[in-house]
Amino acid sequence: MKEPALVVLAAGLGSRYGGNKQVDGVGPNGEILMEYGIYDAIAAGFHKIVLLIKPDILDLVKRLCGNRLEKAAAPDGKPVEVVYAFQDYSSVPAFYTIPPQRTKPFGTVHALLCTKDVIDEPFVVINADDYYGPQAYRAAYQMLSKLAPQGEGMMVIYKLENTLSPRGTVTRGICRVKDGTLAGVTETYKIKRCDDGIIRDMIHENEGIVLDPKAGVSMNFWGFMPSVFPEMERYFHTFLQGLSPTDIRSECLLPVMVDQLISEGKLSVKVLETDSRWFGITYQSDKPQAREELAALHAAGVYPDRL
């Protein structure tokens, strides 16, 4: 098996955040959040990093971390390969006419498809604006070597209680797992830890539905074999064919695609559970917590003074 790659999805517009959140420094020395995922992946054994970005931030990403990564070596002394891929409308199939008012990208399925020409090995895909923890990358690296060449994938799931925000409600995909494989994902909205410490889904009724704090949730940490790309392309084309000419906001999302492929019997997804804490940056108000969490991790010795 070829050595696996890490794909970092960093092409989102960050509209709710108010800027390019993927390149906003939050570490003690101005590190951007995706540097921690890259650091953890290299430490786990990954030698190839694919950065999926918008074309207009290429120079910025190179200055912030890309140029340094291109000179880096993995713990075994081998060089780290850095590859850039771009999410733009040039990769949308010719049969689809893009509405002139559309400014949003087409979502994570399209983003990943934009990397298919630079990936011919097993790979893990993560969000640039999420922190997953070193354990997740170590477990994923080991699991990728055990996947069948066709029809198998993997995911890392987190305990619900380790993914909540103190600043409001969150949406999480609560996973159904059977015999170590993913049976399905249920999108659950407006989840919060209430004043009494109980986690509730507040969308259905005033008092909320109590949720298990240990329930496994998807945080978009997936692993696939390159054989997934034809199915992914088929799914994306079907998605585009179903859009109305005036739809300028719908996105084609990885969790939804995975759920459908599972239901069609075309994909089996092995599940890895982790006790790690997840956190991310969606809004400007998320930055202080991310800075505190990262500073604590550096202080605890999880990371060196400088990555």
- pLDDT value at position 111? 94
- pLDDT value at position 11? 83
Residue 126 lies in a domain: yes
- pLDDT value at position 242? 96
Q: Which domain holds residue 41?
A: 5-151+218-268+284-299
264 CB-near residues (< 8 Å, 6+ apart) = none
Residue 248 lies in a domain: yes
Exposure of 84 by Cβ count < 10 A (0-12 exposed, 13-18 middle, 19+ buried)?
A: middle
Distances (CA, A) of 248 to 16, 105, 107, 239: 17, 9, 12, 13
Q: What is the mean pLDDT of the segment spanning 21-49?
A: 89
pLDDT at 299 over 90: yes
Split at pLDDT 50, 70, 90, the class of 144 is: very high
pLDDT at 15 over 50: no
pLDDT at 162 over 90: yes
The predicted-structure confidence for 66-81, as pLDDT tens digits, reads as follows 888 888 888 899 999 9
- pLDDT value at position 19? 59
Q: What is the mean pLDDT of the segment spanning 225-250?
A: 96
Q: Out of 54-58, 158-162, 191-195, give the one with best mean pLDDT.
A: 158-162
Residue 78 lies in a domain: yes
Residue 35 lies in a domain: yes
Residue 232 lies in a domain: yes
CATH code of the domain in which 235 resides = 3.90.550.10
234 CB-near residues (< 8 Å, 6+ apart) = none
- pLDDT value at position 22? 55
Tell me the whole-structure pTM to 2 decimals: 0.91
Helical residues (DSSP H) of the chain, grouped into ranges: 33-44, 58-61, 67-69, 108-113, 134-144, 229-241, 254-263, 287-299
The predicted-structure confidence for 202-224, as pLDDT tens digits, reads as follows 876 566 788 999 999 999 999 99
Q: What is the mean pLDDT of the segment spanning 226-243?
A: 97
Rounded CA separation 152/162 (Å) = 27
Instruction: Give me the number of domains the chain comprises.
Output: 1
Residue 204 lies in a domain: no
- pLDDT value at position 16? 45
Q: What is the mean pLDDT of the chain?
A: 90
Residue 273 lies in a domain: no
Residue 252 lies in a domain: yes
Q: Tell me how far apart the terminal alpha carbons of the chain are, to the nearest angstrom.
A: 29
Rounded CA separation 62/64 (Å) = 6
Q: Which residue has the higher pLDDT, 81 or 185?
A: 81
| Range in 83-87, 143-147, 200-204 with the lowest mean pLDDT | 200-204
Q: Give the relative orientation of helices 229-241 and 254-263 as an angle to the nearest 10 degrees.
A: 110
Signed CA dihedral, 8, 75, 162, 65: sign only: negative
Rounded CA separation 141/188 (Å) = 29
- The amino acid that residue 115 corresponds to is T
Q: Which two tokens stand for residue 293?
A: 């969490």
**Contact present, 137 and 40 (Cβ < 8 Å):** yes
- pLDDT value at position 13? 42
